[in-house]
Structure formats: structure tokens, C-alpha cells
Structure 1
Amino acid sequence: MANEKGNFRLPYYEKCGFRGEEKKSLEIILKDKPLDKIKLQKFCVGFTVPAIYRNLVWKLLLEVIPVYTDSHEFVMEQRNLEYKELVRALQTMRIIDACTPKTHVFYAAWLLQSGRYSYEWTQPQQDDQFIMLAHVFLQHFDNEVDIYWLTKYLYEYIIKYKNDYPKLIDRLWSLLEKEDKELFLHLQHTGLQKAIPIGKWFDSCFAGILNENPLAKIWDKICGGSVKILIFVTIALLTIQRHELLKCTTLQAFLDCLKNISEETADLIAVKSIEMWQKHGSPKNVNANNNSNN
């Protein structure tokens, strides 16, 4: 009976990020002094980060905190002070108040910190990409200081790749044609191929499209240095929803088909996209200083 119970619980533990061997491997990496960022990136390329370590690993890979563990407490104290000063300044300027949604607070703080805030605005114009990224982090973590800095660094990391979008999207259509020619031709003939907002999906790393829990598996790869996985998430999304999408001839009908994707379906999309990415596009060699080809 004990073995049966263990087998029954195993899928649950794996879903929550408690796979034994992987967890132990990551714990060994996290004992290095200083921490080895390349090892962490390789782990993210090969495995799903256990949920209990995701906050730490993402902060390390996005450079919210340094690889020197002795400095973590001091650095986060400074991050905390800077964030609170930004919030205090925004409150003084009456840009935010107690009723302002946290995602909007984070965005206003980023505008102010990065020198993009205009004093002519009574309210900052919102950036959907930043807001959606922040929303996902809010579902995973409780500390708003962590969430602000993670959102800021992931946002700034992704926008560096906007010039690469045309190349990534060309690769996407080439692979989709091989993967599902019927669907590819349907999207082409209806004009949907050019209308689908793939750039916006890339901008938000599929926040607002896929459930936050399966999405974290994809973000592990992005934080590990591979923006290229967004190609395969798109292909998995389209092919798994193909039966409904083949009925669509307008953009609105197409977008309606992608609303309210269940967590179970989102999990299938995440698993398939990672499998395709590992087969076609995952980086063979991880370089902590140059991930542009990943």
C-alpha cells in the first residue's frame, strides 16, 4: 500500500517541482561559491526548475542578485530601499495611491527609475507587456520587491530581442509548414498568417495566453537564455488548438478560440513546446555572456 500511495502522489510532486534527482542536482549547483551561472543556465535548458527554488534561480539568471551568495542580503536590502523610494516618490507626485493595482505601481516605478516618466502625464500610459509579465510574477511570488525587480529585468531582457522577431517568425512559419501543412496553408490562405499578433505574444512571453503554472516551465528556458523557445510555444499553441483554428476565417474568431485556455491544455502546450525546442532549437552550448543565438 505504501508503494501505491507513493506512485499516486508522484505526479503531484513532479508538477509542484519536487522531482528528486533534479532537485538534488540543483541543490548541489546552488552550493557553489561563487555560484556558476553557466551551470544554472544548463540546468534550466535541461530541466524544469523546482518551484521552491524558482525565485532564487530566476533572480540569479536575470541578475537581480549577483553570483556571490555573501552579497545577496545586502543587495536585496538595497533593492528594497530603492523600490520603496520609487513608490514614495510616486505617491508624493500623486501618480499612485493605495487603490492603484500592483502591476501599475510596478510599471510607474520602472518608468520613473529608467527616466522615461514624463511630468506632463497625470497617469502614465500603460505598457501591456510589462503589466502582463508583472501579473504572472504576482501569481508565483509574494514579495513585491522581488516581483518588481524580476519584472523589470525580464522586460528589459525581452525587448533587447525585438529586432530579432522577423527572423524568429520566419523560422516559426517554416517549422509549422513541416509540422502541420494543412494548418499552415489555412492560415496563409485566410490571411491570418499576417494578422496573428505573434510579436505581442513574444513581447509578453505568452502571459495572458497561457496559465501561469505551465508558463513557468517555459519561462525557466527564457531566464536560462533561450528566447528561441517562443517559436515552439507558438507552434505548440497552434497545433494543439488546430481543430478549432481550422474553422476560423477572421482574426477575431481566431483570437476567440485562444481565450480561456485551460491549465490542462496549457500544460500540454508547455510540454510539447519544450520537446520541440529540445529537438530543434535548444542551445547545445550555454555561454553566460552571449545568449543571442539561443
Structure 2
Amino acid sequence: MAEDPPRNFRSAYYEKVGFRGVEEKKSLEILLKENPLDVEKLSTFSQRFPLPSMYRIHVWKVLLGILPPHSDSHTLVGGYRREQYQDVLEALTVMRFIQRATPQTQVYLRMFQLESQLLPRCSETTPPDSKDEDFLSIARSMEEIVEDPVDCYWLIKCFVNQFSNKFGDSIPHLPKSLEHYLSVEDPRLLNHLRTTGALAMLPYSLWFRRCFAGCLPESSLQRVWDKVISGSCKILVFVAVEILLSCKIMMMKTNRPEGVVNFLYNMPQENTDAIVSKAIDLWHKYCGTPMHPV
């Protein structure tokens, strides 16, 4: 107990001088030194705090099961992942599904289709359907976050699979959750959106099926994905709520739902960090804050 006041003093001091994440970073480094890694504690940490950029990709890979909890196996497993990537890539090249000029995100899609046993015949190749477009949108954003193509593919694949398997049944209900929380935060805005018909036209697919890929810049998006990867799809609802609240003045001035929707599809990018920060605060307010992992 005697150590608590100094620790709290340090935390307050670091926050005051602009080093809010110093204590959190130390806590994460302690977690990452454990062997085996405690995936539950890493998940709890990611739910409560933003991941430092230097550790984000590594933590994502552990939480998504790309790397096992036993740290001494990471090099070996990483080698297997790279070999599998190359094998699938070569198979698609031999089958002439991809060539040197094929965009990288299209390559990732074909790899995903082959491994999921969804690859069409060459003669039956059709334009991407809505699920393919969701995948491609997530892939384009992940490509901006992750430099290594092997890591990038595995993160896209496991992110998409985890999201579908874990939250697939919840996604259709997220628009109703959005209405509920918006009715609490700003009933007047909700009523305006309903009255003008804009509520039914909101870009739910972009927000909820693509997890804001293509909507938020990657610097803001990865903070949202920290929460999704560590186990919460509800964060998507609160990001949507805060986007609507941040655009309230513009939306209240128009009775044309098309104007609202066009604005949301092409929303300004300069204040998205503030929107995401407010969304995370709102998420903690309504959904609670996990206990400190260490």
C-alpha cells in the first residue's frame, strides 16, 4: 500500500507533462516479457489503453492467433507463416489467377479465397461482391498500417475471420444500438435524422461491416481496431455516434438525406483523432472499464 501514492503521483506527473502513456507502456512491456504470454491480460490491456505503435502489430498477431502464446516459438511459427504465404502465392501464379501487375490487395483477396475454398474458376471470375469489397477495403487500410506483405496478409485474413466468426451475428443489430445511444446523447439529432429519412441511409456497411476502413485515416483507425481485435465490436457503435455528434451542425441545417450521406462518405479527416478519443471515452462510460491487467 505504501507504494501506491508515489505511483499515482508519477502517473499524474507524466500526464501533466505530456507523457500520459509512460506507465501504460511499462505495464505492456511487463506483459510481453511473460512466457507464455497471457492473452487475456493482453486483451484487457488493449481494451483499456491505446497500444504503443512499436508494439501494436506484435500484440495484434498474438491476439489474432497468428503467433502462439509461447514466445520462444515465435520465430519458428513466423517462418511457417511465411512459407505458407509463399506456397499460396505460387499456387495462384501457376493457376494464373494473379500476375506481376495484379494489385496487392487483389492478391490478398485471391489468397484468402483459395485458403477459404471460395476461389472461383477462372472462367467464372466475376466482379467482387459486397463481401469481397468489404475484404478489399480492410486490406487497403491494413496495407497502410503494415509494411511487410506476409504480416499484412495474415493480419487481414485473421482479422476478417475473427470479426466474422465472433461478431457476425451482432453486426445486423448495431444500427439499433446506434439509435439507442444517440437517443441518450442527443435525442434532437436522432429525431431530425429520422424525420428527414437520413437515419435509414447512414453508411452502416462502411462503419460496421468494414470497421471504418476507408472512412477513418489509419492513424485513427488503428486505435479503433485495437478494441475490435481485443474483443469488442461495440466500439464501432460509439465511433459512429461521435461522428454524428461531430457533424451535428451541418446535419441539422439540411433536410436532404442525400446531403447527409454524401458528407459522411466524404467526411473531413482532420479531427478524426478527437472523434475516436471521445468515442473510446463514451464506450468506457457505457460498457465499463476492464480492471488493470497488471
Q: TM-score, normalised by structure 2?
A: 0.87
User: What one-letter code is carried by the residue in structure 1 that aligns with 2:276?
Assistant: A
Q: Find out whether 1:267 has 2:269 as its counterpart.
A: no
Give the match's secondary structure for 2:158. helix
1:122 CA drift (Å): 3.7
The aligned residue for residue 220 of structure 2 is 214
1:226/1:282 contact within 8 Å kept? no
1:283 CA drift (Å): 6.0
1:162 CA drift (Å): 2.7
Alignment of 1:84-163 (within 5 A): 84-119=86-121, 120-122=123-125, 125=128, 127-160=132-165, 161-163=167-169
1:168 CA drift (Å): 2.7
The aligned residue for residue 183 of structure 1 is 189
The aligned residue for residue 37 of structure 1 is 39
CA deviations 1:39-65 (Å, max 9, x no partner) are 101111110000000110000111111
Tell me the matched-pair count: 273
Match of 2:70 among 68, 71, 87: 68
CA deviations 1:78-119 (Å, max 9, x no partner) are 111111111111112221112111111101100011100111
1:95/1:122 contact within 8 Å kept? no
Q: CA RMSD in A?
A: 2.1
Identity %: 35
1:232/1:273 contact within 8 Å kept? yes
User: What one-letter code is carried by the residue in structure 1 that aligns with 2:25?
Assistant: K
Change (3 A) 1:124 1:59: farther
The aligned residue for residue 4 of structure 1 is none
Of residues 214-223 and 245-254 in structure 1, the stretch that sits farther from structure 2 once superposed is 245-254
CA deviations 1:236-274 (Å, max 9, x no partner) are 111111112223444432232124444431111100110
Q: Find out whether 1:246 has 2:288 as its counterpart.
A: no
CA deviations 1:166-205 (Å, max 9, x no partner) are 4332222011011111210111111221222314421111
Q: Distance in 2 between matches of 1:123 and 1:109?
A: 16
Unaligned runs of 5+ in 2: 1-13
The aligned residue for residue 179 of structure 2 is 173
2:47/2:290 contact within 8 Å kept? no
Change (3 A) 1:109 1:250: farther
Of residues 223-232 and 251-260 in structure 1, the stretch that sits farther from structure 2 once superposed is 251-260
Q: TM-score, normalised by structure 1?
A: 0.87
1:211/1:261 contact within 8 Å kept? no
User: What one-letter code is carried by the residue in structure 1 that aligns with 2:201?
Assistant: A
Q: Distance in 1 between matches of 2:205 and 2:168?
A: 8
Give the match's secondary structure for 2:219. helix
Give the match's secondary structure for 1:30. helix
Q: Distance in 2 between matches of 1:121 and 1:250?
A: 41
CA deviations 1:1-22 (Å, max 9, x no partner) are xxxxxx9xx76x77xxxx3211
Q: Distance in 1 between matches of 2:256 and 2:90?
A: 47
